Chains A and B, each alone.
Chain A
């Protein structure tokens, strides 16, 4: 009797979960594990037969593919800038907006708006700014320094990509931080003010510790998304000039679908990206756990 009840429960559970599992298996799990398998082969997409080649794809990607290695370093640089700047600006905006009374809703609405627009559309708009508007301003006003090759010059194109990404991404983080700030009790800030703390001291000693959970989320989101950056680069520079601004995701995309159709080799690069994201997540979870224990 008991056994049949258990069996019945399992059947009901599976009935509820089955549709989700089906789609998840076909479109996520199978491609992921398939990717692991193909990364060990010399499959090239065109040829129906392929052979196992062990880890040689991985070795080639990490030792004999300067463009891929460059894309890793470029992505890493982008990640560091994004994590620091996006969160800093978002917290600054959130704190300042929370001090406002009437303008609050307006500021929040406008700063978040770019996040609603696809990075492809936003990227083309910024392209217009960088290739047409800024040169025009440089020519017709005193701001001559604006006349640069913002897209074509590698010294600047990193920053144009960064500006586009910040424009698009900061609003999202700001919303998270505003939600967290609204959870900080007003009395605590007032108590600190009565004790003679100024605005910055109150922020550092009272508010900031209260929004640590939100900060963890913000860092987590920016870290994960920045490693996967694709559209901002695709829309603005396409990875160029040459391959100077190529990021990991774009390198994988081009390897698989544009250049050589070396699917097996591109799969190995895809697994390296997976590994990087995985390790970063583990480190982050470990740090969070430690902080929780301390707190």
Chain B
């Protein structure tokens, strides 16, 4: 009796598990469908695409890619994006860790006030400051400069970094600082040689979160960059889309090219990225 009950329970659980697997698989297909369709049709001629959009290409047209490669100025756009992200990331990490560490270690009203000032920015939507931000960049003569754009990202991103460093430093015992000071270590040397090595886990999280944000940000570059020579991958793709709005084989090839770097990055580092996302969200 009890044996039979256990058997049907087991069968039920197996069937349930299979159903769940099926459900998740359908979800996977739906999730990948647009990417798959994009890939598939990016190697077809325009006419083959119109007559058989779902089927496998009969003849691979890599000409779409070579033409898209030139039209979105791929190497230049990629290099621009990398430089912007590099300036932003280095600034956010260096200035964020300096400030986050010291604000966390210093007690008192001034420290709390400054920390609160940084946290305040999480309430401000980007769209609420963008109009005056454009004016500021004109005044500073950094409109139309990719390095200038990198500097803006430092200002916009440093608060979250400070918040995450601030929380992380609390878990590092203060005795370490004191011991280093007794050994005659100066403030910056202490920070650089004792604290920074301990910050690596949270630095990785901050680097991943900010890289993804800057890499995929669209509106700020659209407002700041004026010359197509400075365009990021996204801006170049957007421009191509505007110019050739019905030439789908070219557009799809350029979309695949534009997402290639980030998808490669993801597939290699997905474990770290997913951990970084979870950490950043839970602590932020």
* A-to-B contact residues, CB < 8 Å: 9-10, 12-13, 15-17, 19-21, 23-32, 34-35, 38, 93, 96-97, 99-100, 103, 107-114, 116-122, 124-126, 128-129, 132-133, 136-137, 167, 172, 175-176, 178-179, 199, 214, 217, 221, 227-228, 230-231, 234, 248-249, 252-253, 256-257, 263, 266-267, 270-271, 273-274, 277-278, 281
Binary CB contact string for chain B from 273 to 284 against chain A (1 if under 8 A, 0 otherwise): 110011001100
What are the residues of chain A within 8 A of B189 when measuring CB–CB? none
Closest to A271 in B: B128
Evaluate whether A23 and B132 lie within 8 angstroms (CB atoms) in the complex, with A17-B102, A113-B263, A128-B38 already known.
no
What are the residues of chain A within 8 A of B41 when measuring CB–CB? 128
9 further interface pairs, Cβ-Cβ under 8 Å (given A29-B117, A257-B134, A266-B131): A20-B118, A35-B132, A93-B24, A111-B27, A118-B234, A124-B237, A128-B251, A176-B282, A228-B127
The answer to the question of B164 belonging to the interface, with a C-beta cut-off of 8 Å to chain A, is: no
Query: Interface on chain B toward A: helix, strand, loop, or mixed SS?
Result: helix
What are the residues of chain B within 8 A of A234 when measuring CB–CB? 218
Q: Contact: A270 with B128, CB < 8 Å?
A: yes
Q: Contact: A24 with B131, CB < 8 Å?
A: no
| Shortest Cβ distance from residue A136 to the other chain B in the assembled complex, whole angstroms | 4
Whole-angstrom distance between the alpha carbons of A102 and B121 in the complex? 42
Q: What class of interface size applies to chain B in its complex with A?
A: 35 or more
Q: Contact: B131 with A28, CB < 8 Å?
A: no
Whole-angstrom distance between the alpha carbons of A281 and B120 in the complex? 12
What are the residues of chain B within 8 A of A118 when measuring CB–CB? 215-216, 218, 234, 258-259, 262
What are the residues of chain B within 8 A of A38 when measuring CB–CB? 131-132
Q: Contact: A124 with B53, CB < 8 Å?
A: no
Whole-angstrom distance between the alpha carbons of A99 and B265 in the complex? 28
Question: Which residues of chain B in 139-163 are interfacial with respect to chain A, using CB atoms and an 8 Å cutoff?
Answer: 140, 151-152, 154-156, 158-159, 162
Evaluate whether A32 and B218 lie within 8 angstroms (CB atoms) in the complex, with A20-B158, A270-B131 already known.
no
The answer to the question of B6 belonging to the interface, with a C-beta cut-off of 8 Å to chain A, is: no
Q: Contact: B53 with A132, CB < 8 Å?
A: yes
The answer to the question of B62 belonging to the interface, with a C-beta cut-off of 8 Å to chain A, is: no
Q: Contact: B131 with A35, CB < 8 Å?
A: yes
What are the residues of chain B within 8 A of A25 when measuring CB–CB? 155
Q: Which of B96, B101, B255, B266 has the most CB of A within 10 A?
A: B255
Report which of A35, A97, A121 forms a contact with B129, defined as CB distance below 8 A: A35
What are the residues of chain B within 8 A of A256 when measuring CB–CB? 130-131
Whole-angstrom distance between the alpha carbons of A25 and B162 in the complex? 14
Q: Which of A13, A221, A278 has the most CB of B within 10 A?
A: A13
What are the residues of chain A within 8 A of B270 when measuring CB–CB? 109, 112
| Shortest Cβ distance from residue A217 to the other chain B in the assembled complex, whole angstroms | 6
Whole-angstrom distance between the alpha carbons of A263 and B134 in the complex? 11
Whole-angstrom distance between the alpha carbons of A112 and B20 in the complex? 18
Whole-angstrom distance between the alpha carbons of A176 and B255 in the complex? 28
Q: Contact: B136 with A26, CB < 8 Å?
A: yes
| Shortest Cβ distance from residue A210 to the other chain B in the assembled complex, whole angstroms | 14
